[in-house]
Structure 1
């Protein structure tokens, strides 16, 4: 089987807001301080890159156009309402009513149908003593956000643009990734060998930020299709991904 082509785009929920900005700034100042953990500054991701990834795609020009068309056809409020109906065990009744014509799809969209996120805590993708990626998860006790995101994936997977990984979706905002640390040294092995990934002992960091609130009741306003590879924002210390297209919650 030939290797998969490298991803070019990803579908995501962008994260933003003053509370998140302040929380990230405080975190960066603490963990990079020589008096604290002394982590490399480049390891902490810029504010403009924070998002929840819903899936990745390898797209050519035609694929990009197809993905944009799918994205712009999404009705976010209706998808969210469908997620909530599923959790309240009303899916079957709603489907029956739709098939009988007693209601139409627009009735699944409620005027107050909105979604907000609370981002809390810090976890490691790897064993904490040798971590390369630390992330903050969204709080989703009812599973509404998870189901909403799975429904967003569906049309892209059905079109063949996004591969169905057949595994649970790990919703997370990457806070630290050591791959972005410049001149990190690494292995002192023979010349020409690929240098080892920089790892950090994150056990104390995770302990301190186990219950840290990054953002509370942050409104979800849009879903975006972005290009891989964040680019610096001129005149700032921030960076962001280029947005190919996005769709907003209708007012």
Structure 2
């Protein structure tokens, strides 16, 4: 009697169903709405809406027909309410009371002032490297100008206050088929990104933040299936084969992209459904199709929005002379390429001197704000907000943890005093 057929490790890995991840419930972020930024953001969003009036999803042109690519069509509901603007550092699954309390205790234990000091040290080293490269370049091109180069004062000096400007417009995942449009935070001191990266990594190391997507795990599994286990003499008897390693390894952090989402098509209501696939109807049934927009000209316009360095004179209209083959790079940086052949670019400014003085843990899912409360006027301006579960100051030596707010109809923690 023959025994049952056993699957090879490669077959086992191929048929392995990855464990379903728990739902995301909270996220770590830096709020961007305050008394300085709110009126600026209101004006900027109004300008954006005037240039790209949102269109009801039912009135969107047929995707199968050729579109006028000189204007991006923004679906109604995709422009995010002012009260939701923030910089996300990572998402968390804190589905139990115990897990939430663990995250809050960890949040309270962090030395934010120490992280900021380390961020300043990193920023200073980067500035020194930039100055050194500039001096070296100047020496190569103009040897007699080295003294004048060294005497140029440093324009981006650190201060006790961390503030940014929100500039330009970028996209995800790609310009020709964008689903998210976002502004970039520009910090002249260079401290924001290293601070956020270190804070994000602290939460990752403690196991609270999600490190990678399911697609990334799937890709790693597929890569593992194409690799042969190393010989025992090289890897040792206790080494993991590539299939087991792909299932048990620690998640790798995603690259940190600091961005303030202005448009997200996932919030557009009435999105069309996928047509049922005749081969695998269950796979596509009732699955909403994510709306995409061709944002190439829109990104180019907001990247070079003003005609003057003071950023007071907008350039007229959209650039409708782009050829169909022109591509705008994904997530292009607002800083233009250097070189005498390229004129300086003056990107759109959504808000400037936005002070960042708190770090928050918020619940997923923005809530509409009540217009029948004592804060009706402010709530009407904000539209929606995320419920703040915990907040810490970046300036005060003593930090505090906030309890759950009683209602989503309050001021949402927006400091307008």
Normalised by the size of structure 1, how large is the TM-score? Answer: 0.82
Give the number of the structure whose residues are more often strand, by fraction.
1
Residue 188 of structure 1: CA displacement?
A: 4.6
Say if 2:27 is the partner of 1:10.
yes
8 A contact 1:226–1:243 mirrored in 2: yes
Residue 155 of structure 1: CA displacement?
A: 2.9
Say if 2:108 is the partner of 1:61.
no
Residue 163 of structure 1: CA displacement?
A: 3.6
1:27-42 equivalences in 2 (<5 Å): 27-32=48-53, 38-42=73-77
Residue 198 of structure 1: aligned partner: 291
Distance in 2 separating the partners of 1:39 and 1:162? 32
Q: 1:230 to 1:142 in 2, by over 3 A?
A: same
8 A contact 1:43–1:178 mirrored in 2: yes
Runs of 5+ consecutive residues of structure 2 not aligned to the other structure: 1-17, 56-70, 127-158, 212-251, 304-346, 372-379, 397-417
* Secondary structure in structure 1 of the residue aligned to 2:43: helix
8 A contact 1:76–1:250 mirrored in 2: no
8 A contact 1:11–1:226 mirrored in 2: yes
Distance in 2 separating the partners of 1:38 and 1:161? 38
Instruction: Select 1:168's aligned residue among 230, 235, 255.
Output: 255
Instruction: Select 1:180's aligned residue among 267, 270, 277.
Output: 267
Q: 1:179 to 1:113 in 2, by over 3 A?
A: same
8 A contact 1:125–1:132 mirrored in 2: yes
Q: 1:114 to 1:47 in 2, by over 3 A?
A: same
* Secondary structure in structure 2 of the residue aligned to 1:88: helix
Distance in 1 separating the partners of 2:186 and 2:72? 26
Distance in 1 separating the partners of 2:195 and 2:108? 16
Say if 2:382 is the partner of 1:240.
no
Say if 2:46 is the partner of 1:25.
yes
Q: CA RMSD in A?
A: 2.5
Residue 349 of structure 2: aligned partner: 213
Distance in 1 separating the partners of 2:264 and 2:254? 23
* Secondary structure in structure 1 of the residue aligned to 2:107: helix
8 A contact 1:231–1:242 mirrored in 2: yes
The higher radius of gyration belongs to: 2
Residue 61 of structure 1: CA displacement?
A: 1.3
* Secondary structure in structure 2 of the residue aligned to 1:71: helix
Residue 98 of structure 1: aligned partner: none
Task: Output one character per residue of 1:85-126: Cα deviation in whole Å (capped at 9) or x when no partner.
Answer: 133349xxxxxxxxxxxxxxxxxxxxx522111111111112
Residue 341 of structure 2: aligned partner: none
> How many residues align structurally?
230
Distance in 1 separating the partners of 2:72 and 2:202? 44
Instruction: Select 2:175's aligned residue among 128, 134, 137.
Output: 128
Task: Output one character per residue of 1:10-50: Cα deviation in whole Å (capped at 9) or x when no partner.
Answer: 0000111222232123223331267x755223010011111
Distance in 2 separating the partners of 1:158 and 1:73? 14
Residue 176 of structure 1: CA displacement?
A: 0.6
8 A contact 1:80–1:113 mirrored in 2: no
Q: 1:38 to 1:82 in 2, by over 3 A?
A: same
Say if 2:136 is the partner of 1:43.
no
Residue 75 of structure 1: CA displacement?
A: 4.0
* Secondary structure in structure 2 of the residue aligned to 1:121: strand
8 A contact 2:26–2:361 mirrored in 1: yes
1:214-229 equivalences in 2 (<5 Å): 214-229=350-365
Runs of 5+ consecutive residues of structure 1 not aligned to the other structure: 91-111
